[in-house]
Amino acid sequence: MAMTILLLFGLVISRLALSDAQSIGVCYGKNGNNLPSDQEVVSLFQSNGIGRVRIYDPNRDTLEALRGSNIEVILGVPNDNLPALAGASAAATWVQNNVVAYSSNVRFRYIAVGNEVPPGDANAQYVLPAMQNIHAAIASANLQGQIKVSTAIDTTLLGSSYPPSAGSFSAGASPYINPIINFLQTNGAPLLANVYPYFSYTGDPQSIALSYALFTSPGVVVQDGQYGYQNLFDALLDSLYAALEKSGAPNLNIVVSESGWPSEGGTAATADNAGTFYRNLINHAKQGTPRRSGQAIETYLFAMFDENLKAAGIEQHFGLFLPNKQPKYQLTFG
C-alpha cells in the first residue's frame, strides 16, 4: 500500500514537473512561401520538446497535423472574423468546424478571440460579443472545462507602466478592456498579452539599458517599493498585473501569448542579442515576476520561423528556426 502511494505521489510530482517544464510554447505563423509542411513542423516541435503552440487561424492542414500530437494549442480567431462571430449562429458553426471537429485528439487550451485589437478600431466592439458566443458554443459542446476563451492584448493599452506598481489601463482602453476582464474572471480564463521588451527598448534606448531588456543586468535596476526589477520583461508584465488589480481583478492570471527578439533588420537586432533574449526568457519563465514570485509564466516565444512574406525589416526575422528547419540558436525548451 505504502509503495502504491509513493508511486502515485511520484507520478503526480512528475506530472507537475512536466507542466512546469512546458511553461514555454512557440507561436507558429505561416506568413512565408518557403516554410516546411505542417506535418514537418509538428515533428520539429516534438523533436525539440516544445509542448505548446499558438496558431493564428484554424488552418485545416495545421489542425490535421496536430491530431494525436499531444501538443497544447492556442487557436486564434483572426481579427477580420470578429464581426461575423458577434452573431451566435456563426460562432456556433465556427466552433463546430474548427474546435469540436478536432477536439477528440487535438489538445485545445485557449481560443484567442482577436489579436492586439486597438480599443479605437472598428472591430473592437465585436471582441467581447464574439468571446461570449464562442464560449457559449464551447460550453454547449461540454468543453468549457478544457478550453478557455480569451483575447490577446498588447502593452499599448497601458496608460501608465512606470514604475510597474503604477501600471494602469489608459482612459481610452478602460471601457474596452474592463468588460473583457469581467468576462475572463467569471469564466476562469487568463488574459493573453503580447509582451515585447524589444519594442520598449528600441522606443527609448536612452533610458533603457540593453542589458535590462536582455535579462543580463547584474543587479536590480528598478526598485519599486518592495519589488526589485532586474529585467524589463518582469517590469512590463507586472505593470499589466498592477493594471488588472486597479481594474478589480487581482487574481486574474496573464499568459504571455507572444514575446520575441529579431535577429536582424533593425536596432539591436542581432543573432547574439536574440539568442541571449530567448535563452534567458526560457530560464526566467519558470521563476515568475516579483508580483507573482514562484508562479511559472506560461509564455509563447515568437516565432517558430523567419517569415519572408511579412513586412521587410525586423518582422521577417523573429524565427527560432530557419525555413530549412535549422535552429538559429541553441535553445532547450523542455
**Catalytic pick among 72, 258, 298, 307:** 258
- What does each C-alpha distance from 194 to 237, 260, 282, 299, 307 come to in angstroms? 10, 9, 16, 9, 18
Cell digits for 311?
513586412
Q: Is 116 known to be catalytic?
A: yes
Question: Contact at 8 Å (CB) between 147 and 111?
Answer: yes
Mention every residue, 6+ apart, whose C-beta is less than 8 A from residue 80. 123
**Catalytic pick among 64, 72, 116, 315:** 116
| Helix orientation angle between 232-246 and 271-284, rounded to the nearest 10 degrees | 50
Side chain identity, residue 228:
G
Distance of CA 325 to the CA centre of its chain: 22
Q: Is 258 known to be catalytic?
A: yes
Helices marked H in 57-117: 60-66, 82-85, 88-95
224 DSSP 8-state letter = E
Beta bridge partners of 252: none
Distance of CA 112 to the CA centre of its chain: 9
Question: Contact at 8 Å (CB) between 41 and 304?
Answer: yes
Enumerate the active-site residues: 116, 258
